[in-house]
Structure 1
Amino acid sequence: MHRWKHLEWEDFQGFVKPFTGWGAGISSSVFVEYDSIQKKYSAYAAMNNQYSWKSRYVLNSDYVLNHEQYHFNITEYHARKLNGIFENKDFGHESQVMYELLRIRSDLYRMQIKYDAETDHSLNRAYQKKWEYQIDSLLNKSEDYPLFPEKEKVELYFPEKPKTLILTIDHEKYSGYILEKYDATFWIVDLEIFSNDTLSIESFAAQILANAGQTDIFLNRNLPHQNSIFESYSKDTLKNEIVLDKFLLGKNTTFWLKYKYPNERENREIFQVIGDQFFGSYRMLDE
């Protein structure tokens, strides 16, 4: 048994299921232990190595291993849910603990089935990325990633910790944060400009996008966010990506938010949902 961790193919030690068409399978569940000193129950996620298996055809496939990792991540999420129940409720009898454990395991089973069904066991790449985004969001929803802590405090939801970004525009360097995952790119950059003349910022923003090689730039004049001064939809023809840009006023600066995703008509709705959540999470903390 292994508790929740970053998986390696060596963790899969069971026999391959006969007549299966899939490359691997993980056996994981939520378990409960009791600390007799602190007199409290706690839940944890673990995999059974002997019942987790892989085909020799997938040993070099990081993609398939990643799919199994997210099965394990779903199990970890449900273990955390059960720990939340333990922290907020007193249990006078072991049967009550077992009831909650069985209920969580039932929810876990349904979510695992739905994950495989919607991703077609990882064969549907767009849905695979959507599920990765959802699962990361569930695991990290309580994480706080401070943005621009020395300046204006901004809240913007990233499903995992972003990297520091240094962007060069016309030989000037600007700081920000970037996350490249799920076949998409998310970023926020402090442009260090502020003006009551928003038309000048619009002109600057449009020039940035054009110089970046984006084409078919469509401006959105119906700005849903109260801080928005410029929003656009465009295409990166070199990378075949859809690019959404929003320029939002802070109290003393302008922030540039960008979201890029594959230009695939059949999967556009999936990536738009992710983008809406990203942009919709922006707010100034001292407002």
Structure 2
Amino acid sequence: MFSLFLLPLLVAALAQGPADSAAKPAAPEALEWRADRPLTWADFKSRPKTDRLAALTSSTIDAKVGCTDFKFSAQVTAVFVPAESWVRDPARASANLLRHEQLHFDLTELHARKLRQRLSLVKLDCQRLQPAFGNLTKASFLEWQREEARYDQETNHGLNQPRQQYWEQQVQQKLQQLEQFASR
């Protein structure tokens, strides 16, 4: 599972003007995605919010945008939110379940890379930033949301191991294909 709270904040912030930061700052305990730092169950700090799931990963794409001397700049980061992520029973939680939750975070990074790629390919006019940037990010976030839902559906929340392995291979391949858009 994932969290998609950034888009309304992003659009609302952009309405204030192109030089404003477009995203709510990540909480101090938030974790930025890194290939060399996988999630552990200790990262999941919240309490369960539903009986339907064994765990929940809260992640988002933190996008900060601005214009300096009429030059557009953006910083896009995939972020895991420990205070909103939980595991029902950490003592009994499986490695397979953690791999499933990790892939939710990996999907967040994949879509952050796609957004970085899209931002690198378009010329955004700082005086008319809001409509173009808002449309671009809205489309990106909707694509991310749909893929997250399809991932849970196709893998049955990680219980369908052949589909889980397929998704893991596909996401890793896509991350490699977009390596040049990894956060540095």
Which residue matches 2:96?
63
Q: Deviations over 1:218-266 (max 9, x none)?
A: xxxxxxxxxxxxxxxxxxxxxxxxxxxxxxxxxxxxxxxxxxxxxxxxx
- Structure 1, unmatched stretches of 5+, are 144-287
Q: Which has the higher contact order (CA 8 A, sep 6+)?
A: 2
Give the Cα–Cα distance (whole angstroms) in 2 for the partners of residues 140 and 126 of structure 1.
Answer: 21
For the pair 1:77 / 2:113, whether they are aligned, the reply is: no
Question: What's the offset of the Cα at 1:18?
Answer: 2.9
Q: Secondary structure at the match of 2:124?
A: coil
Which residue matches 2:164?
128
Which residue matches 1:111?
147
Give the Cα–Cα distance (whole angstroms) in 2 for the partners of residues 126 and 77 of structure 1.
Answer: 21
Which residue matches 2:134?
98
Which residue matches 1:9?
41
Going from structure 1 to structure 2, the CA distance change for 1:96 and 1:18 (only over 3 Å counts) comes to: same
Query: How does 1:1-287 map onto structure 2 within 5 Å?
Result: 1-5=30-34, 6-20=38-52, 22-34=53-65, 39-57=72-90, 60-92=93-125, 93-141=129-177
Count of residue correspondences: 143
Structure number with the higher helix fraction is 2
Q: CA RMSD in A?
A: 2.1
Structure number with the higher strand fraction is 1
Contact 2:114/2:178 (<8 A) preserved: no
Contact 2:67/2:73 (<8 A) preserved: yes
Q: Deviations over 1:261-286 (max 9, x none)?
A: xxxxxxxxxxxxxxxxxxxxxxxxxx
Contact 1:27/1:47 (<8 A) preserved: yes
Give the Cα–Cα distance (whole angstroms) in 1 for the partners of residues 151 and 91 of structure 2.
Answer: 20
Q: Deviations over 1:3-30 (max 9, x none)?
A: 113111121111202322x211101122
Q: Secondary structure at the match of 2:157?
A: coil
What amino acid does structure 2 have at the position aligned with 1:123? L
Question: What's the offset of the Cα at 1:33?
Answer: 1.3
- Indicate the structure (1 or 2) with the bigger Cα radius of gyration: 1
Give the Cα–Cα distance (whole angstroms) in 1 for the partners of residues 143 and 158 of structure 2.
Answer: 21
Give the Cα–Cα distance (whole angstroms) in 2 for the partners of residues 32 and 58 of structure 1.
Answer: 35
Going from structure 1 to structure 2, the CA distance change for 1:78 and 1:142 (only over 3 Å counts) comes to: closer
- Structure 2, unmatched stretches of 5+, are 1-29, 180-184
Q: Deviations over 1:150-192 (max 9, x none)?
A: xxxxxxxxxxxxxxxxxxxxxxxxxxxxxxxxxxxxxxxxxxx
Amino-acid identity (%): 28
Going from structure 1 to structure 2, the CA distance change for 1:23 and 1:58 (only over 3 Å counts) comes to: farther
Q: Secondary structure at the match of 1:56?
A: coil
Contact 1:9/1:59 (<8 A) preserved: no
